[in-house]
Structure formats: structure tokens, C-alpha cells
A and B are shown apart, each in its own frame.
Chain A
Amino acid sequence: GAGVSQSPSNKVTEKGKDVELRCDPISGHTALYWYRQSLGQGLEFLIYFQGNSAPDKSGLPSDRFSAERTGGSVSTLTIQRTQQEDSAVYLCASSRGGRSYNEQFFGPGTRLTVL
């Protein structure tokens, strides 16, 4: 079946502009995660959605970052007034949820470049 998909694959924007990144999880997966990966760096946790529960936003680096998950499926990560330090690959992952031992399946990522 289809895996996790993300769009766009690449995004170049000017400093100060807003951007929206989209994630389509695997059908039926109730858990969805956003991570940021700077060049050669690790997976920085941003936000976690589990079903209808309030999301865990503890990883969002500033109030310029927000995310929504509509209908328990597609998620959008929005970065307002982008800064050059926001340049990174943004990875989305989904898992079955509902129990503890669930593999996360990652999307291909969106490479964001802020000029």
C-alpha cells in the first residue's frame, strides 16, 4: 500500500514569508509526528498527534510554528515569518497508535530553504 507522502518535496522561500508543509499518513494510522532534521543532524521532535487527543506541541521551537491535523488524517505544518535558521528537512512519520510498540513510517521529507 501507499506509504507516508509529503508535499512539496522542495520549498524555497524568502525570509519573512509563511510556508505550509503537508503530510499524508498511511491510511488507518492514528499517530502522526513531525520532525526537523538540519543538515547532518539528528531528528528534532516538533509535534505529535494521537487520535483525537490534544497534540504534544512541546517540541515546537517558537510560536511561529504550528500544526494541524484535520479529520484525523492529513496534517499541515505551518511556519510563519520564516527565518534562515528554519532551513532544514522536515520529516513526517505515522504509526498505528493504540498501543505502545508501533513502528514509525517516515515520509520522504520536505527540504525547506529560506533565502
Chain B
Amino acid sequence: GENVEQHPSTLSVQEGDSAVIKCTYSDSASNYFPWYKQELGKRPQLIIDIRSNVGEKKDQRIAVTLNKTAKHFSLHITETQPEDSAVYFCAASRNNDMRFGAGTRLTVKP
């Protein structure tokens, strides 16, 4: 089955700096790669996703890149703000069968 690895497990940045979280996956048939944000005490929520036929997608301060050949994808957050502090999960999915990475705890220091 699919195996998703995520790095780093914790990340601390200064407000205004950029943050990058990287994930790799094992199943070359995976074709959908969402990112979820989980704030403390809350449920995970989708923030951005990318399909396998696209190499990059951007939505305001967040962007995702996908390298199908290398089977890795990344989340980029620019101009970080304290409200970006949360745990971020990447996931890889094939036919709705989705597996999540272990999560990255991002702390943005004011």
C-alpha cells in the first residue's frame, strides 16, 4: 500500500519568513495530493491540493509543487503569519484511498 513520509516533523520560523514542508510517496499510481491544516484542538481541514497532471499550484501565500518522477511534493508558505501556526499533513491518494504523512508542527514566531 501507499506510504507517505513527511519532513520535517517540527518547523519554527520567524514571522514573514517562508516555510517549506516536503513529502514523498511510494505508490506511483497515486494521483491526488492534498494538504490539510490542523489547528490546536480542531479537526484537519483542506488548504490546498494538486492533481498528478499538474506540476505546481498556487493560492495566495501557499503553493504546492509535485515531482511525479521523483515521487515527492512540497508545500510552500510565504510571508508566514502567527495564524499559520498549526500541524500540516500531506496526503497521497489513488481512487479515494488516501494515506497521510505524520505531520509537521509549524510554529511562526511573532
- Render A38-70 as a binary contact track against B, CB cut-off 8 A, 1 for contact: 001111010010100000101000000000000
Flag whether A97 is at the interface (Cβ < 8 A).
yes
Compute how far the CA of A109 lies from the CA of B38 in the bound complex, rounded to whole angstroms.
13
Contacts of B96 in A (CB 8 A): 31, 48, 50, 95, 97, 99-100, 102
Compute how far the CA of A42 lies from the CA of B102 in the bound complex, rounded to whole angstroms.
4
- The contact size tier of chain A is 20 to 34
Q: Are A101 and B51 in contact (CB under 8 A)?
A: yes
- Secondary structure of the A contact surface, majority rule: loop
**Within the complex, which residue of A40, A48, A106 is in contact with B97, where a contact is CB–CB below 8 Å?**
A48
- The contact size tier of chain B is 20 to 34
Q: Are B51 and A103 in contact (CB under 8 A)?
A: no
Q: Are A41 and B51 in contact (CB under 8 A)?
A: no
Q: Are B46 and A107 in contact (CB under 8 A)?
A: no
Shortest Cβ distance from A31 into B: residue: B96
- Secondary structure of the B contact surface, majority rule: strand
Contacts of B43 in A (CB 8 A): 91, 106-109
Flag whether B110 is at the interface (Cβ < 8 A).
no
Flag whether A33 is at the interface (Cβ < 8 A).
yes
Flag whether B98 is at the interface (Cβ < 8 A).
yes
Give the contacts of B1-49 with A (CB-CB under 8 A): 1, 6, 31-32, 34, 36, 43-46, 49
Q: Are A45 and B100 in contact (CB under 8 A)?
A: yes
- Render B72-110 as a binary contact track against A, CB cut-off 8 A, 1 for contact: 000000000000000001000111111111110100000
B interface residues (Cβ-Cβ under 8 A, vs A): 1, 6, 31-32, 34, 36, 43-46, 49, 51, 89, 93-103, 105
A interface residues (Cβ-Cβ under 8 A, vs B): 31, 33, 35, 40-43, 45, 48, 50, 56, 58, 91, 95, 97, 99-104, 106-109
Known: A91-B44, A104-B98. 14 other contacts (CB 8 A): A42-B6, A43-B44, A48-B97, A50-B95, A58-B1, A95-B96, A97-B96, A100-B94, A100-B96, A101-B49, A103-B34, A103-B49, A104-B36, A106-B45
